[in-house]
Structure 1
Amino acid sequence: MTGSVVDSEKEQKMVFVTVGTTCFDALVKSVDSQHVRNELKKRGYTSVLIQMGRGSYIPSKSCGEEDCLIVDYFNFSPSIADYLRSASLIISHAGSGSIFETLRLRKPLIVVVNEDLMDNHQSELAEELADRKHLFCATPQTLGQTIQTMDLDSLLPFQSGDAIPVIKLINKFLGFPAE
Structure 2
Amino acid sequence: MGDRGEEEEGRRRKRVVFVTVGTTRFDALVSAVDSENVRKVLAAKGYTHLLIQLGRGSYLPTKSDGDDGSLAVDYFTFSSSIADYLRSASLVISHAGSGSIFETLRLCKPLVVVVNEDLMDNHQSELAEELADRKHLYCARPQNLYQTLADMDLNTLLPYSPGDATPVAKHINRFLGFPDD
What's the TM-score once normalised by structure 2's chain length? Answer: 0.83
Question: How many Å separate the matches in 1 of 2:165 and 2:18?
Answer: 27
| CA deviation profile, 1:26-68 (whole Å, cap 9, x unmatched) | 0000000001001101100000000000000000013897111
Moved over 2 A (4+): 6-9, 62-65, 161-164
Residue 46 of structure 2 corresponds to 44
- Secondary structure class of the residue paired with 1:141: helix
Give the equivalent residue in structure 1 for 2:60.
58
Change (3 A) 1:84 1:128: same
Give the drift of 1:136.
0.1
Matched residue, 1:159: 161
Select the structure of larger CA radius of gyration. 2
> Retained in 1: the 8 A contact 2:16–2:88?
yes
SS at match of 2:52: strand
Deviation of 1:10 (Å)? 1.8
Distance 1:97 1:83 in 2: 15
Question: Identity of counterpart residues, as a percentage?
Answer: 70
Deviation at 1:7, TM superposition (A): 6.7
Partner of residue 149, structure 1: 151
List gaps (5 residues or longer) in structure 2.
Answer: 167-181
Structure 1, unaligned stretches of length 5 or more? 165-179
1:77 Cα deviation after fit? 0.3
Name 2:80's counterpart in structure 1: 78
Q: How high is the TM-score relative to the length of structure 1? A: 0.84
* Aligned 8 A contact 2:50 2:73 in 1: yes
Partner SS state of residue 142, structure 1: helix
Alignment equivalent of 1:94, drawn from 93, 96, 102:
96
Residue 137 of structure 2: aligned partner: 135
3-state DSSP of counterpart to 1:110: strand
Contact 2:11 2:46 (8 Å CA) reproduced: no
Task: Count how many residue pairs are aligned between Structure 1 and Structure 2.
Answer: 160
* Superposed CA RMSD: 2.1
1 CA distance for matches of 2:120 and 2:44?
35
Indicate conservation of the 8 Å contact 2:51/2:75, yes or no: yes
Contact 2:64 / 2:74 at 8 angstroms: preserved in 1? no
